[in-house]
């Protein structure tokens, strides 16, 4: 359709230009011959006709200029449409290339992720398969920590990869789900339960700290070398002795538990970002 319009304008402009040039040549030749042969009276009449002819020619010139302007404007419009189409085509080609490249990278990374996660699976399944309460989480936190930190690291890789891609959100979701769909059922259950427990207990860090004090209390009760602990009845004083005996270890354990909480929250945020629901 655009092609026909372009052809129509250009054909008309060329024809008008040729007609105009021919008329001017004929007009100039005719005037020269007439003036050479006519008397004064005929020349006067001819001047009137010439004036009218000049007006007609002027109108023809104006019409020609308008047509030329329209043709140029139409050409610019068509060029802009073609440029826009080419840009869209280039963008789509880039998207297709990026999408295919992302699929290839993700499948390679999924293979590597499986190998990494396998290294944690034995302890993970052994200690974490029955996490249904906050106390069970506390007892098994070390194995869960290794898995969640690794999963959070893997998630960050996919998230950064996809954030640099010129893809639609639904395409990014699809690609990210290639990664999560390769998690085993056991892993998914533990992630779901851990996140649910952390959501349920906003003060879970303080609860874990109290849990540790009880654990160290039992140790000291069995340790006959720390005599002052057995004689102490004040709870605050007992905590001071626990810190004295196990302070560095306790700090390290609490630090690791914070890492577990952060990893779980990061995983939860990332899964929501990519519309992933663990069941």
Domain boundaries, the chain: 2-92, 98-273
How many whole angstroms separate alpha carbon 240 and alpha carbon 253? Answer: 17
Reply yes or no on whether the pLDDT at 149 is more than 80: yes
pLDDT reported for residue 3: 47
- Burial of 95 per CB tally in 10 Å (0-12, 13-18, 19+): middle
Kindly report the backbone phi and psi dihedral angles of residue 275, in degrees, each rounded to the nearest multiple of 5, phi listed first.
60, 45
Mean pLDDT score, 250-259: 93
Model confidence, pTM: 0.62
Look at phi and psi of residue 275 and say left if phi exceeds 0, alpha if psi is from -120 to 50, else beta.
left
- What is the maximum alpha-carbon separation in the chain? 147
How much of the chain, in percent, has pLDDT values that exceed 90? 13
Reply yes or no on whether the pLDDT at 29 is more than 90: no
- Of the two residues 110 and 152, the one the predictor is more confident about is 152
pLDDT reported for residue 74: 83
What pLDDT band is residue 267 in, cutting at 50, 70 and 90?
A: very high
Question: Mean pLDDT score of the chain, rounded to an integer?
Answer: 77
pLDDT reported for residue 5: 47
pLDDT reported for residue 148: 87
pLDDT reported for residue 1: 44
Task: For residue 271, give the nearest of 165, 163, 159, 110 by alpha carbon.
Answer: 159
Q: Which range is most confident: 47-51, 130-134, 260-264?
A: 260-264
pLDDT reported for residue 183: 81
CB atoms within 10 A of CB 243: 14
Is 157 in contact with 258 (CB distance < 8 Å)?
no
How much of the chain, in percent, has pLDDT values that exceed 70? 70
From first CA to last CA, the distance across the chain in angstroms is 55
- Of the two residues 197 and 37, the one the predictor is more confident about is 197
Is 9 in contact with 67 (CB distance < 8 Å)?
yes
């Amino acid at each position: 359709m655009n092609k026909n319009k372009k052809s129509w304008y250009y054909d008309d402009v060329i024809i008008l230009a040729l007609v105009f040039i021919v008329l001017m040549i004929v007009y100039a030749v005719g005037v020269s011959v007439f003036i050479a042969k006519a008397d004064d009276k005929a020349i006067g009449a001819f001047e009137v006709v010439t004036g009218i002819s000049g007006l007609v020619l002027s109108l023809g010139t104006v019409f020609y200029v308008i047509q030329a302007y329209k043709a140029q404007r139409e050409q610019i419009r068509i060029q802009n449409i073609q440029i826009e189409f080419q840009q869209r085509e280039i963008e789509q080609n880039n998207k297709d290339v990026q999408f295919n490249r992302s699929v290839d990278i993700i499948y390679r990374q999924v293979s590597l992720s499986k190998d990494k996660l396998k290294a944690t699976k034995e302890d993970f399944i052994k200690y974490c398969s029955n996490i249904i309460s906050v106390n069970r989480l506390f007892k098994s936190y070390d194995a869960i920590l290794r898995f969640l930190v690794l999963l959070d690291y893997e998630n960050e890789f996919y998230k950064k990869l996809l954030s640099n891609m010129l893809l639609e959100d639904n395409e990014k979701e699809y690609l990210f789900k290639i990664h999560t769909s390769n998690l085993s059922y056991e892993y998914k259950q533990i992630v779901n339960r851990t996140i649910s427990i952390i959501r349920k207990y906003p003060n879970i860090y303080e609860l874990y700290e109290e849990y540790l004090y009880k654990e160290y209390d039992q140790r000291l009760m069995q340790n006959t070398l720390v005599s002052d602990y057995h004689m102490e009845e004040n709870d605050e004083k007992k905590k001071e002795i626990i810190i004295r005996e196990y302070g560095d270890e306790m700090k390290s354990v609490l630090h690791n538990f914070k890492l577990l909480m952060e990893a779980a929250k990061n995983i939860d945020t990332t899964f929501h970002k990519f519309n992933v629901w663990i069941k």
